[in-house]
Chains A and B, each alone.
Chain A
């Protein structure tokens, strides 16, 4: 076995180029005769466009083209990827999302014109000279008000501002309500899941490059899924044949979901490039990113848990207003529904669950999937209400969780919200967390904090999530308009080294390191002889990209299937060369051998023979050694874990410091422990960021208050503790050959409730008994206000 195969903590090979400035991001690409685009963006939240006068701007030096919403009116809209019908059976309200705003602007930052010039500064100057006459309308910002005031409409054709009113599972509603009516105890909690800005280190950027010779379009763009972007742009928005559009996503500097979606700027630079017959480049600045990248979360939820006096969960129900912003972004309808409602059982045996989600249009930036996507919102609600219930019933927060866990002998376990968990062992990760976090020593640490004048608290979260999205037939029934398989091509070159073309696209995950480990392990070759090719639709098979912690579970599995085919073909070639029956050929440690003999051919010899087929069964077997596999998963994967967070609160200022954070996770089999640790670290950093620091705030007029790093608090190293991370309690996934689950989103899903539970615990222990909840982010001012209410 190669030393750098499955299970090796190989250092990420791509980091060398990223960390030495040799990565090649979209902004690094410059094409001959390139022009520069700047977008005119609305500075008001809601307004009717009366006219846009571009004459003065057009006359300015270097200006080549200005296009407005009217120029794109004939094009299609950027669609929502999932159709979510309402409880009453009515169809989802899907207003057209145009390339550029037309008729109305609907959020601050809504782009209504593209200005293209010879230089960036010229484009900027001209953009400032575009004269838009816009009548300001009342901004619809608050979700409750948006729903309550029928006269005010984000989209003129949608009264009530709802995309849908979804019930899950509607047929269970009466039974759930009956259980609540009869329940000995009901705990109610109202909470907000704060809106977040994704803040990928690399801002969005796109270059449109139309070739007038061939009529082909090429788009370089910051995408997590180049094929999906191509499909959306070609088939839905621009109406050009898919085979006339190539989408290239080179190195991508983080996405966290925000680069899944197709954005209007991409179609605009392509159209402008066609008009000018020159490349058109646009790179967002950070201010544009805050205004126009799809945000995450933004739910307002009422959750109720019904229990008996012993703390057994009897039923759970929620009512959620989910902000979708001004337009439906591609995953925005799936995120608050099938990535959220289906998770509401958590790792618990709660027999009855009902979830209601109303998706609300507002005059704010679109909201879509962001690291965890729906599952952090679900987990936060569940894990917070459980803590509140434990507090009300005087039960230990860990004991109440444990007594309600699904037990190891209950798998496969069908939840009341439509998922079938294949495997798990929540007691194991909980026990591991208790040991690693030294829960037994907490009181001693609390006493030490007290001696310093600080309040110490501890909080937990025992979370589960559904990832590795997703079984296409299942999501099709649920309303998905695409399949969610993935694909890989394994090309063994004549000299024995290997190129793997993947549908998954790394934007920080480390695919270039991990995927070769799998291939190396299976083929018995060094990982260094395997390279990954991704991000270019002209080179890779049609895959769905990276999000939803799916790369390894779905695309990784496609790779194993393709390698299986390589091995099967290799056996045929070996049988011929070794003059043996195919059934007698064994493949092990990189060698094809005849069972029970010392006759063998190395993998490299077989590869060479496939391409130099002098001694080869050409009558029955094609030459070459290249195989493609598509893989559609049979189920989601269900990573789970137990987290503990300890905080100190300064009673004078309300400042919270995270003193320790412990994660015991079950990710199934682990291919590269170092990368898994890194993913958990990053996810928890984002979770602590959400819980204590980050917040997208709009004022009542829809102006963005947190539009720069002066006001949007990104977590920094000194905001975060050293983490204790463990993933030794494995229950391998039962339905993929690697036995893997996803780990990319886990940290961001499991951590926010642990932090807030710890803060509330600290305050209660500190004598602030009336504090039963504190909203995220628990800023010093908020915590102080809670203590001084």
Chain B
């Protein structure tokens, strides 16, 4: 790890100011950033810790949904969101291990937008809104491919508001080694229709499986997607699974998520 300065502001405004310095980078739970720094792949000159900012931590009910502060650790989401949005709480409780869940945060996960991360599928399927210190970004506009988002340099995610669907479930198939999602599917049945978001599978990061959304909006049953096929084109192919395998998982997990949704 290279040397760096460390600041821990108490407000979003102070954090934004600190982040405007050359080579400054936000630190939330550190579960991605610190290993990268230890491997000397990232060398920020100023680390701006977000974990001292109480206004971006915690869970609260908002009109028609639930708002989760960006610096809220997964363990807190798992423990406190269940009464509003069980599928989201369950997803958070299935991320990594207890140590990762105590440190890692929603904001860090979304800013990083790992193609195998769990949260992006929930955000996309829930039609959630990503709040930053500058604006509100609709989920459909936020994710822009692997490790790529609508965030601008120095922009800070402050919270995410999730619309609570009538029924929802996340089913994750673990990559055997990392236990990130080899493929994960979040199915959410909203009043206006079903959204199906897939993580782990595509070279373009999290995506919506629109054919399944149409079929499930017509009939919310696992059998509704039976006749659909998932193209393996653009699917990730690696040590742990071919593109065809991932395409298969997309369908299998979608069916399982529909069955599990409540």
Our pick among A128, A705, A779 for the contact of B176 (Cβ within 8 Å) is A779
Q: How far is the CA of A287 from the CA of B239 in the complex (A)?
A: 18
Report yes or no: A711 in contact with B178, Cβ–Cβ below 8 A.
Answer: yes
Determine if B248 is an interface residue (Cβ-Cβ < 8 Å): yes
Q: Report A-chain residues with C-beta under 8 Å of the C-beta of B176.
A: 693, 713, 779-780
Q: Quick one: which of A711-743 are within 8 Å of B by CB? A: 711-714
Determine if A175 is an interface residue (Cβ-Cβ < 8 Å): no
- Nearest CB in chain A to that of B3: its residue: A121
- Nearest CB in chain B to that of A715: its residue: B176
Mostly, the B contact residues are loop
Report yes or no: A652 in contact with B239, Cβ–Cβ below 8 A.
Answer: no
Our pick among B180, B241, B252 for the contact of A781 (Cβ within 8 Å) is B241
Report yes or no: B177 in contact with A784, Cβ–Cβ below 8 A.
Answer: no
**Hey, what's the 0/1 contact readout for B169-187 against A, CB within 8 Å counting as 1?**
0000100111010100000
Q: Report A-chain residues with C-beta under 8 Å of the C-beta of B173.
A: 653, 655, 780
Q: Report A-chain residues with C-beta under 8 Å of the C-beta of B84.
A: none
Determine if B20 is an interface residue (Cβ-Cβ < 8 Å): no
Q: How many residues in A have their beta carbons less than 8 Å from beta carbons of B?
A: 25
Report yes or no: B177 in contact with A710, Cβ–Cβ below 8 A.
Answer: yes
Report yes or no: B239 in contact with A785, Cβ–Cβ below 8 A.
Answer: no
Q: How far is the CB of A510 from chain B (nearest CB, A)?
A: 28
Our pick among B239, B248, B249 for the contact of A705 (Cβ within 8 Å) is B239
**Hey, what's the 0/1 contact readout for B27-57 against A, CB within 8 Å counting as 1?**
0000000000001100000000000000000
- Nearest CB in chain A to that of B241: its residue: A781
With A653-B252, A705-B239: A781-B245 Cβ-Cβ less than 8 Å:
yes
Report yes or no: B242 in contact with A781, Cβ–Cβ below 8 A.
Answer: yes
Determine if B135 is an interface residue (Cβ-Cβ < 8 Å): no
Q: Report B-chain residues with C-beta under 8 Å of the C-beta of A654.
A: 245
**Hey, what's the 0/1 contact readout for B238-258 against A, CB within 8 Å counting as 1?**
011110110011001000000
Report yes or no: B245 in contact with A287, Cβ–Cβ below 8 A.
Answer: no
Report yes or no: A652 in contact with B252, Cβ–Cβ below 8 A.
Answer: yes
Report yes or no: B242 in contact with A709, Cβ–Cβ below 8 A.
Answer: no
Q: Report A-chain residues with C-beta under 8 Å of the C-beta of B244.
A: 785
Report yes or no: A706 in contact with B239, Cβ–Cβ below 8 A.
Answer: yes
With A287-B39, A652-B252, A653-B252: A710-B242 Cβ-Cβ less than 8 Å:
no
Determine if A124 is an interface residue (Cβ-Cβ < 8 Å): yes
Determine if A697 is an interface residue (Cβ-Cβ < 8 Å): yes
Q: How far is the CA of A713 from the CA of B240 in the complex (A)?
A: 10
Q: How far is the CA of A710 from the CA of B242 in the complex (A)?
A: 17
| Interface-central residue, A128, A695, A781, A785, by most chain B CB under 10 Å | A781
Q: How far is the CA of A712 from the CA of B177 in the complex (A)?
A: 6
- Nearest CB in chain A to that of B180: its residue: A710
Q: How far is the CA of A3 from the CA of B239 in the complex (A)?
A: 52
Q: Report B-chain residues with C-beta under 8 Å of the C-beta of A705.
A: 239
- Nearest CB in chain A to that of B1: its residue: A121
Q: Report A-chain residues with C-beta under 8 Å of the C-beta of B177.
A: 693, 706, 709-714
Q: Report B-chain residues with C-beta under 8 Å of the C-beta of A780.
A: 173, 176, 182, 241, 245
Q: How far is the CA of A780 from the CA of B239 in the complex (A)?
A: 11
Q: Report B-chain residues with C-beta under 8 Å of the C-beta of A713.
A: 176-177
Q: How far is the CB of A284 from chain B (nearest CB, A)?
A: 14
Report yes or no: B252 in contact with A124, Cβ–Cβ below 8 A.
Answer: no
Q: How far is the CA of A455 from the CA of B207 in the complex (A)?
A: 32
Q: How far is the CB of A718 from chain B (nearest CB, A)?
A: 10
Q: How far is the CA of A667 from the CA of B1 in the complex (A)?
A: 49
Q: How far is the CB of B260 from chain A (nearest CB, A)?
A: 14
Q: Report B-chain residues with C-beta under 8 Å of the C-beta of A128.
A: 40
Report yes or no: A697 in contact with B245, Cβ–Cβ below 8 A.
Answer: no
Q: How far is the CB of B21 from chain A (nearest CB, A)?
A: 23
**Hey, what's the 0/1 contact readout for B149-187 against A, CB within 8 Å counting as 1?**
000000000000000000000000100111010100000
Closest 8 CB pairs of A and B: A781-B241, A713-B177, A710-B178, A713-B176, A781-B245, A652-B252, A711-B177, A705-B239
Q: A653-B248, A780-B173, A780-B182 are in contact. List 13 more A-B contacts (CB 8 A).
A: A128-B40, A652-B252, A653-B252, A693-B176, A710-B177, A710-B180, A711-B240, A714-B177, A779-B176, A780-B176, A780-B245, A784-B245, A784-B248
User: What are 13 residue pairs bridging A and B, where the CB atoms are less than 8 Å apart in the complex?
Assistant: A652-B248, A653-B173, A693-B177, A706-B239, A711-B177, A711-B178, A711-B239, A713-B177, A779-B241, A780-B241, A784-B245, A785-B242, A788-B248
